[in-house]
Amino acid sequence: MTARKPALGRGLGALIPDIGIENNEGVTEIDINDIEPNKDQPRRKFDEDKLRDLADSIKEHGVVQPVIVKKEGDFYRLIAGERRWRAARIAGLKTIPAITKEFTEQEIMEISLIENVQREDLNPIEEAEAYKRLIDEFKLTQEEIAQKIGKSRSAIANILRLASLDDRVKQYISEGTLSEGHARAISNVGDDKELQYEIAKKVIDENLNVRQTEKFIKKKMLAVIKDPLEVKKPDLYLEEVKRRMENVLGSKVSISFKRRKGTIQIDYYSQEDLERILEILKA
């Protein structure tokens, strides 16, 4: 699977410019056992071999960049720098340099997400679920997330589609058994979890590449819906077409039909987003 290269325009210093990251302002040494990891941080898995390599580097050079924490009672909640904190513990450090700040829950989520995306530490499912949480819990729009993360809105929309996949398919992606390209193709089948899982199993069993997966899905969907106009009421058919188009285009679609004439409206949010939709339509 080809590594993703985020085009990030903002870092932690841009999100919270007074934090003192660049010049290590307000850094203090904190007992490493007084720090607790953030249970809500997007990243779930840590590569043990890479942690040991980082621990070796810390033994030789120390912790170069401080972690960021929030004071909570007798302990500190880790906001950014969990890899450094874990590696420092492996290296046997008693204390770790840290910057203590007060953050809202939304700021904590944004900081954790930005740090991980910048370092390409999140797998596609972790990234998708983090974006979904920002939308569901903190009411951010895709455009606002794109601005904070430094990605295009269309890139956010494409990743978000993976959050609706079957849990078994998500596990394959998290483990690296399926690529992000496979995941996006499978997300085009809609909300049928069993069908998603069936396709994922076929991809794995037959070692299909992304293009072969897309062809198989197209054939499968045509077989499922041979002639919807004959078997469904027109309004149900239009709803199904609307859903399928939104899945493929990653954007809101409106369809209306009156007096033997219909219209299709596709929303877009920037010139870049319009170009993305045009490319999909050409394909």
The one-digit pLDDT tens for each residue of the chain (283 residues) are: 333 333 333 444 444 434 444 445 578 899 999 998 887 766 667 778 888 888 999 998 888 889 889 998 889 988 888 888 989 999 999 999 998 988 888 888 778 777 767 665 678 898 888 888 888 878 888 888 888 878 888 888 888 889 989 999 999 998 889 998 999 899 888 778 888 999 999 999 999 999 999 888 888 776 655 544 444 455 677 777 888 888 778 788 888 877 778 889 998 877 777 888 888 887 6
Q: Report the pLDDT value the prediction gives residue 141, as an integer from 0 to 100.
A: 86
| Whether residue 82 lies in the annotated active site | yes
Q: DSSP letter at 3? A: P
Task: Report which residue type is found at 141.
Answer: T
- The catalytic position among 82, 126, 127, 214 is 82
Within 10 angstroms of residue 84's Cβ, the number of other Cβ atoms is: 23
HEC string for 27-60: EEEEEHHHEECCCCCCCCCCCHHHHHHHHHHHHH
Domain boundaries, the chain: 1-146, 165-224, 228-282
C-alpha to C-alpha distance for 191 and 166, rounded to whole angstroms: 8
Quick one: pLDDT at residue 234? Answer: 59
β-pair partners for 69: 78, 100
First to last CA, the chain: 22
Please say whether the beta carbons of 95 and 32 come within 8 A.
yes
Identify whether the C-beta of residue 156 lies closer than 8 Å to the C-beta of residue 7: no
Residue 23: Cβ-neighbour burial (10 angstroms; 0-12, 13-18, 19+): exposed
3-state helix, strand, coil in the chain (%, to 5): 55, 15, 30
Domain formed by 1-146, architecture: Alpha-Beta Complex (3.90)
| One-letter identity of residue 120 | E
